[in-house]
Structures are given as structure tokens and as C-alpha cells.
Chains A and B, each alone.
Chain A
Amino acid sequence: MPNIRFTEKPLSDWMRGEAADSEIVISSRVRIARNLQHLPFPILATNQQSEEALQRLTDILQYDDLGRFGTFHTLKISELDEIDKQVLVEKHLISPNLANESRNGAVLISDDESVSVMINEEDHLRIQCLYPGCQVREAWERATVIDDAFEAHVDYAFDDRRGFLTSCPTNVGTGMRASVMMHLPALVMTHQINRILSAVSQVGLTVRGIYGEGSEAVGNLFQVSNQITLGQTEAEIIENLHGVVLQIIEHERSARERLMNESMLRITDRVMRSFGILSYAAVLESKEAAQRLSDVRLGVDLGILERPSTAAMNELNVMTQPGFLQKSFGDKMNTGERDMYRAKLIRQKLGTTL
């Protein structure tokens, strides 16, 4: 029986920490892709070869190197049911890609869920470190130490000229993707978001919705990450990202200030209405829930509302996703049932007993 404690509670321990700029930056994440020498990448690997990769990489857990990041638990993807997989995706502990189609895929998760190591995703090894708030440097520092711990025991595919060799040409070199999740409601409301996003894309960064490629930027959440992995050092990439994120934070802050100065009544009304709807609705579609939660989060940040806490908001963002709803209220649900349970769960969380 696989260890499914990670799918039972919505909020990872690491998300509880209060951090700098956390009213705008929700989390920081660094992922590094590595591959073993002399083995084909997972897309071409035979069952036996991917089994070998899994074996060699999980064997490393028996050494002490990783121990200082807490105890790691190994979950084999094939042993998880659909809903548990979906919950792990919703908590960003695994990628949709690993959940869907990987042979001998597995994930190693640290106790507090701040480190997750995917095996046999697109690459043999993907080390991911998560931090609350704007702590992209800290996330990189931890990721690189974990990387070294693996590298002490296996030979990576590395080339003097091209760097770390990855299956996709967009990851070659550093193999590093650093990203920061931002809540930018004021930039959206003041119609400045497009201008900012296109400026960001001109400095080698990309912006996407919360669940990565092809998903919608629901609830005014945007993920900013580096696009370039070759020809820049990790430190340069991190500093570039960090610098741009700080600028976006400034823009969001001044947009919030402007909203409060110029249309305080309208903003207050919007926040209160959203809080009211979340408190009393009997049916909530995911899109509406995300938008209302965004309004309430903004309301708390602006001092219009006193609660819920940031941690409770983060919790709600995860809890109202389809996988987690089904986890909490019973297996297969259709969309209508999900909308009903979503509303119920939010009412409970906000302490509305009607």
C-alpha cells in the first residue's frame, strides 16, 4: 500500500510559512532536470531501462546525503489511484506529465513536501524545491545541494559544451527552471497586465497560468519563469528572474494603491460581494470560485477584510480543485456535484453555518 499521507491534507507544511512579499508572491519553485549517462531518456527507454533508472536513483536514498532535508517517501505512480495522482498534481508535487504517461515513474517527497524528486518524467531526474513567498534564491540553493547529493552517487549525462543533457532542447545547459507564482489582481483590474507580460517575455522570461502549459490563468495567478537555460549561469538566471519579479511586485503595489485612492468604494464593494457569495453560495463553478477567492485575498491584503488568513486562502485554492474535492467527499463526481461540494467546503472553511 503506497504512502498516501501527501494526498490527505490540502496544504503542504512548507506553505504555512510566512515570507517576504507573500501578499503578492505566493510561492517560489526551482526545478532541475538531470539524466543518467548511458541510458536512453524516458521517452525511448524500455521497461527494463526505466526500471534501472528508478532503481539507481532510489538507491541513493539509503545514503545520508539527502537525510538533512528530512525523511523522503517514495511513491510509485503506478500504485496510486487516479484521484491521488490528481491531488499530487494540484499540490504541485508531481507534473501532469508524470501522472499521465510515465513508465516506472515515481516521486520522492520530503516530509514537509518542500522537496519533490520526480523519476522517469521527461528526464530521468527532476528535482524540485518549493518555498513560500519570493524566495527563489533559497529554492535554488537547496535544489543545487540536493543535486550534488545525487551526483555523488551516479554519473550524469553532461557535455562540456552543452552542459546537462536533457530530453527537450529547451532545458539543455543548466536544466533549470525557476518560477515564481504571483497574485496580480490589481494589474488585471487596471488593464496593465498585458503590457507587463509582454515586457517580461522580452527579457527571456515566460508567463503562464497556474497549472503550466495550456492551462488558464485562473484567479489572477501568474507563474513567471525563465525561458533560457543555455548560455547563462544559474545565478544570472535567478537574479534576472528575481529582479523582474521585484519590479512586477512594485507595479502591483502601486496599482493597488491607485485602486484604493481612486475607487475605494468600488473595490470594497467587490471584495465584500465576493466574500458574501463565497460565504453563502450553494453552487460554485471552479472559475467563479477562483475569481472570488482572488477578490477575497486582495481584500485581506488591502485591510478591507480581517480574515481568512493567507494560509487559509492557500488551503482553499488547493481544496477547491477537482481532485481534492473528490478526495474529501467521495470518489467519482460529476461537474454539478463538484460545484455543490466546492461551495459547501468554502462555506465550512469560512465558518458560515447556514
Chain B
Amino acid sequence: MLCQECNKRPATLHFTKIVNGEKTEFHICETCAKEKGEMIPGTPNGFSIHSLLSGMLDFESSTKSQSPGHSGPQNLQCKDCGMTYAQFSKLGRFGCPSCYQYFDSRLDPLFKRVHGSTSHVGKVPVRTGGRLKVKRQIDDLKKEMQQHIVQEEFESAAELRDQIRKLEKEMIEE
């Protein structure tokens, strides 16, 4: 594909810009991108990850229905730090850990777009993350049990079921 600016050099940068819900695709070469001061890592004046983010967040709020008075995204507010969703989308930053809960209903699409995923599978705090570790263990056992059931290995499946019950009981008692 040739660069859409100069039509001479091959396009090496491909990106999508979203402005007010309007999606535009760009295919340009590095030379033209530099001249336009756009986006490539390593250019001065290149647009930063934060302006890119806040573009996405605006997109989020402008496409969904905003029935007045109802809990449209602009009315969401963090009760701990006071940050509103509108401020968040402008700043591209959360104000405090609780913002994640108060804005939760709006976050899946954002995380999906930035990370391609919505939930954490990595490290868990050693001291405070015990419960989550057990929960993940239970999930793994359930998956394994399902496989045994599919293969009609009911005895092994029953063993796993007992293990799961034991872990679940421990979690409730904690």
C-alpha cells in the first residue's frame, strides 16, 4: 500500500483516529508522518497516548444513548475522590482506586480497545490476594472437571468436584 499523503513511498504506519465517533483510517509513510507531526513513537510533537485515550473516551460517551436525567456516563461520579466521568475522559486519568468501581459500567469497552482484554490474569498481592488465588484455583479445577465429564471420566470428575467444594467452603468460612 502506498502512502496516502505522498503516493510515493510505501505506507509503514497504519492507524485509526476516532473523533466524535467518526472513524478515519490513515496509511502513511514515516517521512510524511514526521512532517505532519503525527503519532509515531519518537517524533517531537507526536500526539501522546493521553490525547489518544481521551479521544477514545469521548467516543465512548458520544455513541451511547444519553437519556437526560438518567445515569448517562457524564453523570457518573466517584464518591470517594469526586472525579466525574467527564473529567476522567478529558484527563485520561483516574482520580483514585474507587473510580474503577464508579465508572465500571463504562470501562469494559475502553479496556478492550486499549488492552484487548478486560480482566487481570497476572500477579496477585501476596498478603491480601489469598482469596483471589483460591478463586483462580477453583476456576482451573472446574475447567479440568468439565474436560473429564466430556471424556466420560466420571470418577476423576467427582474427585475434582469434592476438591472444589472443599475450597469453596473454606472461602466462605474465612
Q: Which residues of A contact B (CB under 8 A)?
A: 35, 37-41, 43-44, 122, 144, 147-148, 151-152, 155-170, 172-174, 176, 194-195, 197-198, 204, 206-209, 213-217, 222, 228-234
With a 10 A CB-CB cut-off, give which of B81, B107, B110, B125 has the most chain A CB atoms.
B125
**With known contacts A169-B114, A228-B115, A195–B12 Cβ distance under 8 A:** yes
Q: A41-B95, A151-B127, A216-B42 are in contact. Are A160 and B132 (CB under 8 A)?
A: yes
Contact between chains at A167 and B94 (CB < 8 Å): yes
B23 → chain A closest CB, angstroms: 19
Residues of A with C-beta under 8 A to B119: 161-163, 230-231
One digit per residue, 1 when the CB lies within 8 angstroms of any chain A CB and 0 when it does not, for chain B 88-130 equals 0001111111001100000100110011111111111111110
B42 near A163 with CB under 8 A, answer: no
* Minimum Cβ distance to chain B for residue A111 (Å): 26
In the bound complex, CA of A231 to CA of B121 (Å): 6
Is B81's CB under 8 angstroms from A44's CB?
yes
User: What's the least CB distance linking A279 to chain B, in Å?
Assistant: 29
Would you mind naming 5 contact pairs between A and B with Cβ atoms under 8 Å apart? A161-B119, A163-B120, A163-B122, A213-B41, A230-B119
Residues of B contacting A: mostly: loop
Within 8 Å by CB of B120, from A38, A174, A206, lies A174
Contact between A44 and B95, CB atoms less than 8 A apart: yes
- Nearest opposing residue in chain B for A148, CB measure: B126
Q: Check A231–B93 contact: CB distance below 8 A.
A: no
Using CB atoms, name the residue of chain B closest to A193.
Answer: B30
Cβ B41 vs Cβ A206 within 8 A = yes
Residue B21 lies at the interface, judged by CB distance under 8 Å to chain A:
no
Question: Quick one: CB contact mask for B45-64 with A, threshold 8 Å, 1 for yes?
Answer: 11011100100000000000
Which listed residue, A37, A151, A159, A234, touches B126 by the CB 8 Å rule?
A151
- Select one of B13, B91, B111 contacting A230, CB under 8 A: B111
Bound state CA distance, A144 and B81, in angstroms?
A: 29
Q: Are B100 and A217 in contact (CB under 8 A)?
A: no
Interchain CA distance A170-B49 in the complex, whole Å: 9
- Cα-based distance from A173 to B45 in the complex (angstroms): 29
Does B83 sit within 8 A of A, measured CB to CB? yes
Q: Which 5 pairs across A and B sit closest by C-beta, in order of nearness?
A: A231-B117, A163-B120, A157-B97, A208-B41, A230-B115
Chain A residues, CB < 8 A from B49: 170, 213
Cα-based distance from A174 to B115 in the complex (angstroms) = 11
**Could you say which of B115, B125, B135 contacts A156, with CB atoms under 8 Å apart?**
B125
Chain B residues with CB under 8 Å of A165's CB are 94, 97, 100
Total interface residues on B, CB under 8 Å, equals: 49
Q: Is the CB of A161 within 8 A of B120?
A: yes
How close is B12's CB to chain A, nearest CB, in angstroms? Answer: 4
Within 8 Å of chain A (Cβ to Cβ): is B14?
yes
Q: Which residue of the partner chain, among B12, B13, B101, B110, contacts A169 with CB atoms under 8 Å?
A: B110
Q: Report A-chain residues with C-beta under 8 Å of the C-beta of B128.
A: 151, 155-156, 158
Residues of A within 8 A of B48 (CB): 213-214
Kindly list chain B residues whose C-beta atoms are within 8 Å of the C-beta of A122. Answer: 93
State the Cβ distance, A30 to closest chain B Cβ, in Å. Answer: 12
Q: Which of B30, B93, B120, B126 contacts A41 (CB 8 A)?
A: B93
Given contacts A38-B97, A169-B94, 20 further A-B contacts (CB under 8 A): A39-B96, A43-B95, A152-B126, A155-B128, A159-B120, A163-B119, A164-B123, A165-B97, A167-B94, A169-B111, A170-B114, A207-B42, A213-B46, A213-B49, A214-B45, A230-B115, A230-B119, A230-B120, A231-B116, A232-B121
Closest to A35 in B: B97
- B43 at interface by CB-CB < 8 Å: yes
- If A144-B123, A151-B126, A152-B127 touch, whether A215 touches B81 (CB-CB below 8 Å) is no
Shortest A309–chain B CB gap in Å is 28
**Chain A residue with the shortest CB-CB distance to B123:** A234
* CA–CA, A37 and B96, complex, Å: 9
| Given known contacts A165-B94, A207-B41, A208-B41, A159 and B100 CB-to-CB distance under 8 angstroms | yes
Complex: A216 Cα to B46 Cα, angstroms: 10
The verdict on B44 contacting chain A, using a C-beta distance below 8 Å, is yes
From B96, B116, B125, A158 is in contact (CB under 8 Å) with: B125
